[in-house]
Amino acid sequence: MRLAHTALFAADLERARTFYTRYFDCTAGALYHNPRTGFRSYFLTFPEGGQLELMAWDEVTPRPEGRFRGLDHIAIHVGSRPAVDALTARLAQDGYPVVSPPRVTGDGYYESCVLDSEGTRVEITG
């Protein structure tokens, strides 16, 4: 078995698509739009495999601030410690909040954590 994809709702679908295609080299598929319901989505494919579905629907409400049950973060492996450092610095320079700077975690991973354009935690691992 394998995980097919992870899906995130976005308030600004185009901004979220731009975030992941610009910083993580994803390829965006065609926009899916159901005019009857107003639902829209993109499937993004990462260069080395894996997909993220970004979705928008007016009926979805924002999450409360802070931690909650369910999805906490997504983790994206960028290949090396220098790549983690460089991408984290680039995101910070472009104004995205860095939740935690690059570091070795207690379980031995080298990672940073940033917030994407929607406030979702994204761990960048090397």
Task: Indicate which CATH number applies to the domain containing 116.
Answer: 3.10.180.10
For residues 89 and 109, membership in a common domain is answered with yes
Q: For residues 79 and 56, what is the distance between their CA atoms, to the nearest angstrom?
A: 30
Question: In the numeric block, which tokens belong to residue 95?
Answer: 């104004």
92, 97, 103, 105 alpha-carbon torsion, rounded to 10° = -160
Cβ proximity of 126 and 77 under 8 Å:
yes
Q: By percentage, how much of the chain surpasses pLDDT 70? A: 94
Predicted pLDDT at 3: 80
Give yes or no: residues 78 and 124 share one domain.
yes
75 and 122 together in one domain: yes
CA angle 114, 43, 121 (to 5 degrees): 15
77/114 same-domain check: yes
pLDDT at 67: 63
Q: Give the model's confidence band at 69: pLDDT under 50 very low, under 70 low, under 90 confident, else very high.
A: low
User: Out of 5-14, 53-62, 76-85, 101-110, which region has the weakest mean confidence (pLDDT)?
Assistant: 53-62
Predicted TM-score (pTM) of the model is: 0.89
Residues 83 and 118 in one domain: yes
Number of domains in the chain: 2
pLDDT at 20: 97
Domain boundaries, position 18: 1-61
Q: Are residues 43 and 99 in the same domain?
A: no
Q: Is residue 66 part of a domain?
A: no
